[in-house]
Structure 1
């Protein structure tokens, strides 16, 4: 069989299309687009890491045709990466624009100083604000299209508009928010008519939770849209994972869930954060990549104990060898005691621990060490005392850095250990989710694949957006799609959810 040059160029696209057909798909009712039930989420993608580009290319070539981004993701770099990859793939003929659904969002605004922003912005703090004003949206859509190198966004979403209720520069009520959403939609209708967007929607962390103070109601929003223009409001996006299930749950005060209501109104339901749950007031990554956690945990625990001891010895040494230092300054170096006493809490929350150490403790220690350096310069000390104190400063900084790294690893390994237990529980409740050790299909993170399959078993969820920055994230997502079937019955789902109460 011989192929023309045109046919040869289309072979990768034909392969991807054939592969795509192996999986269950969804239809965006108001646009008629057929999409994969898992989409490429690009929250932390930037231009610095080549693997991000490879991951996106692999996802598209594997049949994933939904790409979700936002104007503020990595200050626009997420869109730039996506634009560069899509441009290259389309030029090569390995993907067709019409087979892709590209979603972007706007609302967040970061600035060195928000004090000069107009009142159309809700100023959250000195460096962060939020807006859905027509003028802001127009600029954001233009910037997004330029970075993505596209003429049209398939769906454009207002990103967490409820955040505007936190305004500290003006009185801003739910009534004001509804008025601004209505005004934004009126403007977006114009964007649909000129062809820069195919439709619009709302991405919200609060829409699925009627009991929260910043809840925005989909029925109330729909009431404000004229019947003749409701076809432009095509989708919503909310969190959904094995712990956060609000979108599929009915409250006693209503006889439908948000998922049921949106389906009834032909509003497509995207969900996000399938593998990053907020539970118990903390972020819990649903991952248990294949490592020997017992052996690693023991090794890290021993290293951590040694580092606590060394840092503690340095803190005692500061008071014993340098008694002339102001007590107000020297008494601040008690981090070995503080961190060791709170080790249990720190080990329970990987993200919080990482943030606490890197964004709070480390800057505080650096400030204190700089104060010690200033003390060296401003006080008359003999050469030996100066050298000894400078040597102590250098050692303390190095030991804290080492302790911080090990403590973060300790917290992460503890997370993996807890998640291994969760993995076992899910496999016990629903045996069809179990991975045999001899299986040729080896997931990077067995728990992640199980959680994605559980999401896919919920027929009311149109498309789950998965963070796929890395190749192994894409491979796990493809595996979840491959294994997605009818084995996870409604009864199994209920049992899984009940065991997580």
Structure 2
């Protein structure tokens, strides 16, 4: 178990024991490791929350699983190949196979709620259209209904980013048509939950697109439970805005300290580089010129990871001619931490801008609580049953426990 997942484990266990009533996961999160981690949490927990898992993505090990199914003539139709590393399927054979795998990883006899995960991947297909889309969903619902009657799942639903599109959009997951699929499958169907993105920037679920009703109104009218994801990660055009403030947990590093760490790492790198290339300097290399611009002004922690793990760290390893010892890599990891600190604070600045706009527009109250807490309180005042937040850190759990 890595350090990363120990934090996750502690946070999740603490959330459940403080009354968090639902855990959302998926067969493809960290290649099934997420479900195994949840199994360990459930063994230690004081009570059992509702477990939600999902099916659809085919990545990593799962590609082999599907190839094996295909070799015995199963799940070969309706297979969407987005690229070499990502396929997608909601075929009945695949659903049955994945339920079994999830049950064994979660170490439970029944998954409470089982969702089709982004079935809109179908729209990558040449000639994809709305009618065929719902035929696929209906076929999947038949299988899910059978799994309910066998006691392997409690009920089912769909997690789709396309629920929130306008009804005019050819790629919409249309709530009324999905409901028709369920009614065709059985008049006493077990289609109970939908999940989609919702946050203060992406508020499409509130648009009155359905004869004056919104997606949220429709869902309630159909008696569906609503879960929203990405409550604090909003896409604005091409960029990601993190709607959370970190100043309390991650204060900004002092400029002079940051510069010292940077200069130290670069001097060590230059010295090592000159051992092999005495007449050259790293500062003339395009990669380092770019790195000079990026180390202290990347906008997101993910961006920092990309700069370091895809470019900078491999370059350092090449200069060393192989792996560095823990002591040798120290200065470079220190610099990575500094870059992360800057990125969080860049996001913090964007979040603060957003916060002041949201307060002046009357979307949220000004208050002592961190922005993310006030936002989630606001979301829960709508017709939303569950707001899904990542529990990576016990500090997040403490901020939100009054809402469990």
Smaller-chain TM-score range?
0.7 to 0.9
Question: Are 2:397 and 1:474 aligned?
Answer: yes
- Name 1:335's counterpart in structure 2: 287
Tell me the distance in 2 between the aligned counterparts of 1:246 and 1:418: 21
**Which range moved further: 415-424 or 280-289?**
415-424
Say if 1:221 and 1:292 are closer, same or farther in 2 by CA, change over 3 A.
closer
Question: Counterpart of 2:73?
Answer: none
Matched, 1:234 2:183: no
CA contact (8 A) 1:293 1:417 kept: no
Decide whether aligned partners of structure 1 residues 402 and 62 sit closer, same or farther in structure 2, where only a CA change above 3 A counts.
closer
Structure-2 change in CA distance of 1:292 and 1:226 (3 Å):
closer
Task: Provide the residue aligned with 1:382 in structure 2.
Answer: none
Q: Which residue of 2 aligns with 1:434?
A: 367
Which of 410, 416, 431 in structure 1 is aligned with 2:342?
Answer: 410
Check if 1:58 corresponds to 2:14: yes
Q: Aligned-pair distance for 1:64?
A: 1.9
Residue aligning to 1:270 = 227
Question: Which residue pairs with 1:184 in the alignment?
Answer: 140
Q: 1:283 to 1:303 in 2, by over 3 A?
A: farther
Task: Give SS of 2:182's match.
Answer: coil
**How many angstroms does 1:401 deviate by?**
5.6
Shift of 1:165: 2.9
Q: Aligned in 2, Cα 1:367/1:218: closer, same or farther, shift over 3 Å?
A: farther
Note the alpha carbon deviations across 1:155-179, whole angstroms, 9 max, x for none: 1100111123335xx7655544322
What's the TM-score, normalizing by structure 1? Answer: 0.67
**1:224 matched to which residue of 2?**
181
What's the CA shift string for 1:413-432, capped at 9, x where partnerless? Answer: 22223334444555665785
Q: In the superposition, relative to structure 1, how do residues 55 and 333 fare at CA in structure 2: closer, same or farther (>3 Å)?
A: same
Does residue 402 of structure 2 align to residue 451 of structure 1? no
Question: Does structure 1 retain, via aligned residues, the 8 Å contact 2:157–2:191?
Answer: yes
Cα gap change, 1:294 to 1:61, in 2 (>3 Å): closer
How far, CA to CA, are the matches of 1:268 and 1:62 in structure 2? 22
2: CA distance, partners of 1:396 / 1:336: 19
Q: Give, in whole Å, the separation in 1 of the partners of 2:344 and 2:350.
A: 10
- Aligned-partner SS, 2:375: helix
Other-structure match for 2:58: 109
Q: How big is each residue's C-alpha offset from its partner over 1:214-261, in whole Å with a ceiling of 9 and x where there is no partner?
A: 43222222233335446311110001111121112234x853221111
CA distance 1:125–1:361, change in 2 (3 Å): farther
**Greater Rg over alpha carbons, structure:** 1
Structure-to-structure mapping, 1:252-291, within 5 angstroms: 254-291=211-248
Tell me how far 1:128 sits from its aligned partner: 2.0
Quick one: distance in 1 between partners of 2:194 and 2:284?
Answer: 49
**What is the 5 A alignment of 1:19-418?**
49-89=5-45, 94-95=46-47, 97=48, 100-111=49-60, 114=63, 117=67, 118=70, 119-120=76-77, 121-166=79-124, 173-210=129-166, 214-226=171-183, 228-229=186-187, 231-251=189-209, 254-291=211-248, 296-299=253-256, 301-303=258-260, 306=263, 310=267, 321-322=278-279, 333-341=285-293, 346-363=297-314, 365=315, 369=319, 403-418=335-350
Coordinate RMSD, CA, aligned: 3.9
Q: Deviations for 1:362-402, whole angstroms, at most 9, x for unmatched residues?
A: 44x368648xx59xxxxxxxxxxxxxxxx9xxx99887665
Size of the aligned set, in residue pairs, is 391
Ranges in structure 2 where 5+ consecutive residues have no aligned partner: 71-75
Contact 2:111–2:152 at 8 Å: present in 1 too?
Answer: yes
- Counterpart of 1:494? none
C-alpha distance after superposition, 1:457-482 (max 9, x if no partner): 22x11211121132111111113x28
Q: Which residue of 2 aligns with 1:490?
A: none
Task: Indicate the SS of the match to 1:287.
Answer: coil
**Maintained 8 Å contact 1:314/1:396:** no
Are the aligned partners of 1:47 and 1:81 in contact in 2 as well (CA < 8 Å)? no
SS for the counterpart of 2:200 is coil
SS at match of 1:266: coil
Alpha-carbon spacing, 1:448–1:245, altered in 2? closer, same or farther (3 Å): same
What runs of 5+ residues in structure 1 fail to find an aligned partner?
A: 1-44, 375-390, 436-442, 483-501
Alpha-carbon distance in 2 for matches of 1:312, 1:191: 58
